[in-house]
Structure 1
Amino acid sequence: MHRVRAELPEPVQQVVADYERHLALERGLSEHTVRAYIGDVVSLLGFLHGLAVVGQEGGEDGQPTDRSGGRGVGGLDLTVLRAWLAALRSAGTGRTTLARRSAAARTFTGWAHRRGHLPVDPGIRLAAPRPRRVLPSVLRQDQAADLMRASGSGAAERDAVALRDHALLELLYATGVRVSELSGLDVDDVDLGRRVVVVLGKGAKERTVPFGQPAELALREWLAHGRPALARPTSPPALFLGARGARFQPSSVRRIVHEALGAVPGAPVMGPHGLRHSAATHLLEGGADLRSVQELLGHATLATTQLYTHVTVERLKAIHDRAHPRSQPPGG
């Protein structure tokens, strides 16, 4: 998309740059989220201006069609939005990606209308395919216990790396925080006495999340015997450090989670987000209400949290099918 963005007309490039600043500075979105939004918008604007965007059909001469009418961003209308999505669909784009791209387009056209780039907001009338909601894989509670037990046995030797890995696994599962939130934690964000951690979530929203005694003990061991061994004079105040004393990165956390789960028999293949799903599911199975879980996880809407109720229902149905004598028809 870098090439397509560079080939857009100069005034349109300026609009994209203004929108990028809006997302990063005014809305406080993460660098990754901003990049995703801008990629979708550049795809739309490239389609509008007849650039070589995947899935775009050509005109009668086989060349891409400029639909802007010489009006730049002002050429966006409902017909263009629908044609863009149709072209993406024809190119094999999945329903989930189409839904994300249409949402990104609606967000952009709303902003563009408010800024005076569009006389009306065509995104209001844009219908998008609903993404298929796939139930996430989660650990059983006994598998989560096996994971922490195996991790804890490695930390018992008080090796600095083993202490760190055990502490981050305990904290991930105890709190259900996102991997980016975990990596962004500083030492001062953790209150061991109250057993809470202050997390900076999406949209720069701060929330306080509690954790239990196992995570507290793992963190105390890491802070007392592990972190000092890895810290350097130039180390940041990060809670978790890498082997060279730098802030521990999300990619490294994902590797740790994958490797640790590989030692648990029967555990599904998952990363840190799988531990987040597991934490939410186990909270609900333990009797927590949806609103509390929503606040703990930092979900903007309750609808996102409700996905986990489907997970628990499906698991209950599976248990019922295996265990209840009348779960199968007679003779089945």
Structure 2
Amino acid sequence: MKNENFAKEQETQLTLKLRTLMKDLPPFSEIYFRGIEPNTSVKTRIAYAFDLRIFFYFITNELDPFFGQKIQDLVVGDLDKISSIDIEKFLEFLSFYSLPNYKDPDTFIAYTNSNTGKARKLSSVRAFYKYFFKKKMIITNPAILVDMPKNKEKPITRLEVDEVANLLDLVESGEELTDSQKKYHNHNKERDLAILALLLGTGIRVSECVGLDLDHFNFENNSFKITRKGGNETILYFSEEVANLLKDYIAVREAITPYPGNEKAFFLSMQRKRIGVSAIQKLIKKYSTIITPLKNISPHKLRSTYGTNLYRETGDIYLVADVLGHKDVNTTKKHYAAISEDQKRSAAKVVKLRED
């Protein structure tokens, strides 16, 4: 794979995955996915396809009017035969079910869903119905009559300031690692520090991190170029502290001969290939479990750590939304509005009406 075409190559692979999934959907679904293509990313469409695959599996395996019918034989008019009560039954079905593995239809995988998972799948079904109703290809829209499952607001899981420092210190020293982990530590130390510093210091997504190339960085002004979700490119900036750790890694990387086709990749795996999302997830878990065993730290939690720190320092929710690449500032507010409440409570304690 040519590094300069990494984003395009990834897009191609995801498109092929979507086409494979669509074979398990009714033929008229193609109209829907073609219609939403201009305004959605291929990853979003894949998520919709997975959700709709479950919905139509339920329809043909659990509802009497369609029981035993092949999904591929369904026509768009069949959507009018499904009631809001049927969709509520679908939500109950999602609590526990088995579904054929789309890669190997002869094997089944068991799943469970919380209200969060149910809400996402209902959103996919709603969008599907909305599209065909809007196009006047169906005359009913029962999905809109189904209440969205309630989700409990989860507190943001993030690293505190001292935990960030301890995490970087651990990677630097390797003192608390197991003997097995220490075998690879000296080889990967600079790379792991650079990855963690970049994630914690810029808030980029792990998918954006793995797509970085050597020529995406400009150390004259400490900037770098990333490809956002949806394919848009943007320029972000990093601190001098992050720059120093990136330069330390570059010095080590220059001594590595990349596997053919990976010459431009910035972060390399032990196999000398472009590092993958799974590898970064594992290295974060390895280090963070030692520092804060009670917190389940993922790449997204490091992103939350950066967003929290940036909002606390600036109080500018629009800046945070822009840097994190949120299309809708309400998404940012949802995650970081609680910090404003913390600040308000702190402010209440500052002003004293009587001297002690």
TM-score range, shorter chain: 0.7 to 0.9
Residues 168-227 of structure 1, C-alpha deviations (whole Å, 9 max, x = no match): 000000111111111122222222222222222222233322211121111111122225
Residue among 126, 147, 172 paired with 1:106? 126
* Mapped partners of 2:317, 2:24: distance in 1: 47
Corresponding residue for 1:76?
79
| Aligned residues with identical type, % of pairs | 23
TM-aligned CA deviation for residue 129 of structure 1: 2.7
Question: Structure 1 residue aligned with 2:332, among 305, 311, 314?
Answer: 305
Superposed counterparts of 1:1-332, under 5 Å: 12=26, 14-20=27-33, 26-27=38-39, 29-31=41-43, 33-48=44-59, 51-52=60-61, 56=62, 58=64, 64=67, 72-77=75-80, 80-89=83-92, 91-92=94-95, 93-113=113-133, 117-119=137-139, 123=143, 126-153=146-173, 159-229=186-256, 231-264=258-291, 268-312=295-339
Between the aligned partners of 2:21 and 2:212, the Cα distance in structure 1 is: 37
Q: 1:305 to 1:227 in 2, by over 3 A?
A: farther
How many angstroms apart in 2 are the aligned matches of 1:257 and 1:174?
15
C-alpha offsets along residues 125-161 of structure 1, whole Å, 9 cap, x if unaligned?
Answer: 554234322122111111112212222345xx99442
Indicate how the Cα distance of structure 1 residues 47 and 308 shifts in structure 2: closer, same or farther if over 3 A, else same. closer
TM-score w.r.t. the length of structure 1 is 0.77
The worse-fitting range, judged by mean Cα deviation, of 303-312 and 70-79 is 70-79
**How far apart, in 2, do the equivalents of 1:318 and 1:257 lie?**
33
- Closer, same or farther in 2 for the Cα pair 1:230/1:150, shift >3 Å? farther
After superposition, the Cα gap between the structure-2 partners of 1:78 and 1:194, relative to the gap in structure 1 and judged at 3 Å, is: farther
Change (3 A) 1:224 1:258: same
1:253, distance to aligned residue in structure 2 (A): 0.3
Change (3 A) 1:315 1:230: farther
The Cα shift of 1:110 comes to 3.2
With structure 2 as the length reference, what TM-score do the two structures score? Answer: 0.72
| Gap regions ≥5 residues in structure 1 | 325-332
- Structure 2: runs of 5 or more not aligned: 1-18, 96-112, 175-183, 351-356
Q: Distance in 1 between matches of 2:238 and 2:140?
A: 48
Query: What is the CA–CA distance in structure 2 between the aligned matches of 1:84 and 1:264, rounded to whole Å?
Result: 45
1:262 CA displacement: 2.5
Q: Which amino acid aligns with 1:297?
A: L
Q: Offset of 1:246 from its aligned partner?
A: 1.3
The CA deviation at 1:312 is 2.6
Give the Å deviation of 1:26.
3.2
CA pair 305-159 structure 1, distance change in 2 beyond 3 A: same
Cα separation, partners in 2 of 1:243 and 1:115, compared to 1, 3 Å: farther
Please state how far the C-alpha of 1:281 moved relative to its aligned partner.
Answer: 0.9
Give, as a single letter, the amino acid of the residue that structure 2 aligns with 1:186. D
CA gap 1:113/1:5 in 2 versus in 1, 3 angstroms: same
What is the identity, as a one-letter code, of the residue corresponding to 1:148?
Answer: L
C-alpha contact (below 8 Å) 1:135/1:310 kept by paired residues: no
How many Å separate the matches in 2 of 1:305 and 1:209?
Answer: 18
Q: Provide the secondary structure at the position in 2 that maps to 1:135.
A: coil
- Work out the CA distance in 2 between the residues paired with 1:7 and 1:242: 35
Alignment root-mean-square deviation, CA: 3.8
Per-residue deviation, 1:18: 4.6
Contact preservation (8 Å) 1:299, 1:305: yes
The one-character-per-residue Cα deviations of 1:65-87 (angstroms, maximum 9, x if unpaired) are: 87x9x972223249535522333
